[in-house]
Amino acid sequence: MGKKIQDRKLDHLKISLEEDVQFKEKTTGLEGISFKGVDLSYKTLPELDKREIKLEIEFLGKKFKAPLMVEAITGGVKEAIKINKDIAKACEELGVGMGLGSQRPMIEDPKLAETYEVRDVAPNIFLAGNIGVTEVGKHSAKEIEKAIEAVGADALAIHLNAAQAAMQPEKETDFKGRLKEVEKLVKEFKKPVYVKEVGHGIGFETAKELAKTGIKAIDVGGAGGTSWTALDSKRGDKSIGETFWDFGIPTAESVIQCRKAFDGKIIASGGIRTGLDCAKAIALGADICGLALPVLKAQEKGGSKAVKELLEKIIEELRIAMFLTGAKNLKELKGKAIVKN
C-alpha cells in the first residue's frame, strides 16, 4: 500500500514537471483581458507613496509579511526532502506561508516524516499539514494530530478532490458522509482545520455546507491553473481526461461564491501566477493567495534561490497593483475589483 502511494506521488511530480497540465481554454477569470473577467479599479492619482504600502496580515494566528503561501505540493518520497526544504527556506526568508503535501504516506509509515520536515530551515512560517477528505474517516483525529505535530504544522488542510479522484486509476471515489467526518474532526482537533480544493474550485453550495462544520478557512483551489483532471488522467484514461480537462469553477468565481457563503478566511488559489492576480483575488474577497506549480518548476530550475525570486516578484507586483488602486493596506484593497460580465 505504502509503496503504491509513493509511486503516485512520484508520478505527480514527474507529470506536472514534464507535461502540460494546466487548464487549456478555461481561465481563472482574473486576467480581465476580454469583456469578461476581473479588473482592478485604477486610481490614476493614487495620493500614495508606494514604499509605504503595508502587506502584513495575520492568518490563522500567524503573522505573514505578505498575503501569500506556497500551496501543498509534496512529501512521502525522498525527492520531497529537498523540494520541501528549498521552498520552506524561501518562505521563511520572505515571511510567507507554506503547505505540505498529503501526509497520508507518513500516517501509514511514520518513518516518512523526514520527507516533510522543514522546521529546521523554517522555524517561524505558517505551515499547513495536509490530508485528503477520503482519509479523514479512516484515521482518528489523534492519528492525524500526531502527524501534524510530527512536522510542526500550525493547521491542517483537508483536500477535497472529487474531480481528481474520478480520473485516478485507483478509483478512490467514495465521498459519502465526508461532511460529517470533517465536522467531527474539527470538533476533536486542537489546531485550526481548513479545507482546500486542488484546482477545480469550491462553489456556493459546498462553501455553505462547509461553513457549518466549524472550519476556519476555505482555500478555493479554483480552475485556471493546474488541472488535476488532466494530470491524473495521464496516469489513467487519457480520453476521459480530455473531456474533463477544463472542468470546474474558475478561481475568481469561486472566491466570489465562497465569500458570499462563508465568514471565515479565504485563500485564493488555482492559477495565481502574478501579484496582479493576487491583488484581484484579494479585491474580490480573499484574504491571502497561494500557488503551487510555478513554485515547483522554479525549485526544479534553481532551488531555493529561484523560489525566492519568483515569490519576491509576485510580492512586488502585488505592491504595484495596490499602489495603482490607491490601497495603502490589504483592507483598503477590498472592493477595488471590477467584475466584467
Ligand X SMILES: Cc1cc2nc3c(=O)[nH]c(=O)nc-3n(C[C@H](O)[C@H](O)[C@H](O)COP(=O)(O)O)c2cc1C
Binding residues for ligand X, rule: CB under 6 A, are 12-13, 16, 71-74, 101-102, 130, 157, 159, 196, 198-199, 221, 225-226, 269-272, 291-293, 296
CB of 272 to ligand X, least distance (A): 6
CB-nearer residue toward ligand X: 74 or 325: 74
CB of 274 to ligand X, least distance (A): 11
CB of 305 to ligand X, least distance (A): 20
336 phi/psi in degrees, rounded to 5: -90, 10
CB of 295 to ligand X, least distance (A): 8
CB-nearer residue toward ligand X: 294 or 327: 294
CB of 70 to ligand X, least distance (A): 9
CB-nearer residue toward ligand X: 82 or 331: 82
- Residues contacting 65, CB < 8 A, separation 6+: 55, 56, 94, 95, 96
Residue type, 95: G
CB of 102 to ligand X, least distance (A): 3
102 phi/psi in degrees, rounded to 5: -50, 130
Alpha-carbon span 213 to 209, nearest angstrom: 7
- Residues contacting 118, CB < 8 A, separation 6+: 84, 85, 87, 88, 98, 100, 127, 151
Residue least distant from ligand X (Cβ): 225
CB of 336 to ligand X, least distance (A): 23
Residue type, 175: F
Q: What is the grid cell recorded at 217?
A: 478557512
CB-nearer residue toward ligand X: 157 or 252: 157
- Taking a C-beta distance cutoff of 8 angstroms, is the pair 88, 125 a contact? yes
CB-nearer residue toward ligand X: 232 or 323: 232
Alpha-carbon span 14 to 292, nearest angstrom: 14
CB-nearer residue toward ligand X: 199 or 324: 199
CB-nearer residue toward ligand X: 16 or 325: 16
Q: What is the grid cell recorded at 159?
A: 483536500
Report the length, in residues, of the chain.
341
CB of 328 to ligand X, least distance (A): 28
CB-nearer residue toward ligand X: 314 or 324: 314
Residue type, 294: P
CB-nearer residue toward ligand X: 68 or 283: 68
With CA atoms as reference, report the closest residue to 60 among 216, 261, 221, 213: 216
